[in-house]
């Protein structure tokens, strides 16, 4: 009888799938630049569509008022907390720093200029803008993945007119209001800390702050905020309406909205500051 065949103990070479060729740095950079340019083009198209749709009838006044309540009134708390503690921290920092040079009496001047020109508009736009932009991206992203935006198209309505224009108008209107509110609260908190901790008279702090802050300083801060509001609404709406991939895509769009709005506010703040300074009274 023939012996049964013994199993081979010689190991077989494992099957290794060929690896995809890695892209070079130049290819990755080129692809990333192309994607950024595509996003910029799509956002510019959405902005142009929003401008064209704004004067068209019917005017969505109820939606504008509703968005003002949702985005503005409900952001007062976080804007107030931000302004109060920024004013308090600025007072403590400048008081200890200027005391080394015997110039603690100038704290009111420095804090007043810092808050009105830069801190109130920029930090309010960052904190409130991230909250508003994330909410817009999540809301419109949920509508996109559940095909509600496609349904608006199918009914013959314009999604830009229905969804983007009210949010854009509301953001442009509410940001200057929140900025002025932050100016007042921040300066009041700074005056309180200067009196309680350093014994500075509130009347002296108030007069020195107002003497140093001119109308051009106040306007250079407030006039930035409509641009910030437009950026917040535009980026939030764009990232929300282009959401794909279900609930996971909604989460990604929300995260991207926070990052994009933060970067856009900081970049535009620099260029707007340069613009207002160049046209200011000291430009000549």
Q: What percent of the chain shows pLDDT beyond 90?
A: 45
Averaged pLDDT for residues 243-267: 91
- CA–CA gap between residue 46 and residue 242 (Å, rounded): 11
So what's the pLDDT on residue 10? Answer: 47
Torsion of CA 76, 77, 78, 81, to 10 degrees: 120
Averaged pLDDT for residues 250-274: 93
Backbone angles phi, psi at 4, to 5 degrees: -65, 145
Could you report how far apart the first and last alpha carbons of the chain are, in Å?
A: 112
Choice among 17-26, 54-63, 264-273 with the minimum mean pLDDT? 17-26
What's the chain's average pLDDT? 86
- CA–CA gap between residue 257 and residue 238 (Å, rounded): 9
Choice among 7-11, 24-28, 50-54, 80-84 with the minimum mean pLDDT? 7-11
So what's the pLDDT on residue 283? Answer: 47
Instruction: For 43-83, write each residue's pLDDT tens digit.
Output: 999 999 999 988 888 888 889 999 998 888 889 999 999 99
CA-nearest of 178, 279, 271, 266 to 222 is 178
Instruction: For 172-228, write each residue's pLDDT tens digit.
Output: 999 999 999 999 999 999 999 988 888 888 888 888 888 888 888 899 899 999 999
pTM of the model: 0.84
How would residue 17 be classed by pLDDT, with cut points 50, 70 and 90? low
> How big is the chain by its Cα radius of gyration, in Å?
27
In this structure, are residues 272 and 224 in contact, taking their beta carbons and an 8 Å threshold?
A: yes
- CA–CA gap between residue 250 and residue 137 (Å, rounded): 8
3-state secondary structure of 54: coil
Q: Residue 231 to residues 57, 180, 243, 268: CA-CA distances in angstroms?
A: 24, 19, 18, 9
How would residue 25 be classed by pLDDT, with cut points 50, 70 and 90? low
CA-nearest of 164, 144, 159 to 244 is 144
Instruction: For 107-117, write each residue's pLDDT tens digit.
Output: 888 898 999 99
- CA–CA gap between residue 24 and residue 85 (Å, rounded): 47
CA-nearest of 87, 106, 122 to 220 is 122
Sorted by sequence, the CB contacts under 8 Å of residue 115 that are 6+ apart come out as 83, 86, 87, 90, 182, 183, 186, 187, 190
So what's the pLDDT on residue 21? Answer: 63
How would residue 168 be classed by pLDDT, with cut points 50, 70 and 90? very high
Q: Residue 59 to residues 52, 54, 72, 73, 204: CA-CA distances in angstroms?
A: 13, 8, 20, 22, 49
């Amino acid at each position: 009888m023939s012996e049964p065949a013994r199993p081979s103990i010689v190991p077989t070479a494992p099957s290794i799938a060929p690896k995809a060729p890695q892209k070079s740095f130049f290819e990755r950079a080129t692809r990333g630049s192309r994607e950024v340019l595509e996003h910029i083009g799509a956002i510019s198209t959405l902005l142009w569509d929003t401008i064209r749709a704004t004067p068209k009838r019917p005017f969505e006044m109820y939606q504008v008022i509703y968005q003002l309540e949702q985005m503005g009134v409900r952001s007062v708390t976080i804007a107030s907390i931000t302004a109060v503690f920024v004013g308090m921290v600025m007072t403590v920092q400048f008081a200890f720093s200027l005391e080394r040079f015997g110039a603690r009496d100038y704290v009111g001047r420095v804090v007043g200029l810092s808050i009105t020109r830069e801190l109130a508009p920029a930090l309010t736009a960052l904190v409130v803008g991230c909250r508003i932009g994330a909410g817009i991206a999540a809301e419109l992203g949920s509508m996109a993945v559940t095909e509600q935006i496609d349904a608006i198209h199918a009914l013959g309505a314009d999604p830009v007119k229905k969804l983007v224009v009210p949010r854009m108008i509301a953001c442009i209107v509410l940001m200057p209001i929140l900025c002025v509110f932050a100016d007042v609260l921040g300066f009041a908190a700074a005056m309180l800390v200067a009196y309680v901790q350093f014994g500075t008279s509130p009347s002296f702090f108030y007069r020195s702050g107002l003497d140093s802050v001119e109308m051009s300083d106040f306007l250079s801060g407030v006039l930035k905020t409509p641009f910030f509001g437009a950026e917040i609404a535009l980026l939030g709406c764009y990232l929300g309406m282009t959401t794909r991939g279900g609930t996971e895509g909604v989460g990604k769009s929300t995260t991207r909205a926070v990052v994009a709005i933060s970067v856009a506010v900081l970049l535009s703040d620099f260029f707007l500051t340069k613009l207002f300074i160049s046209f200011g009274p000291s430009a000549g």
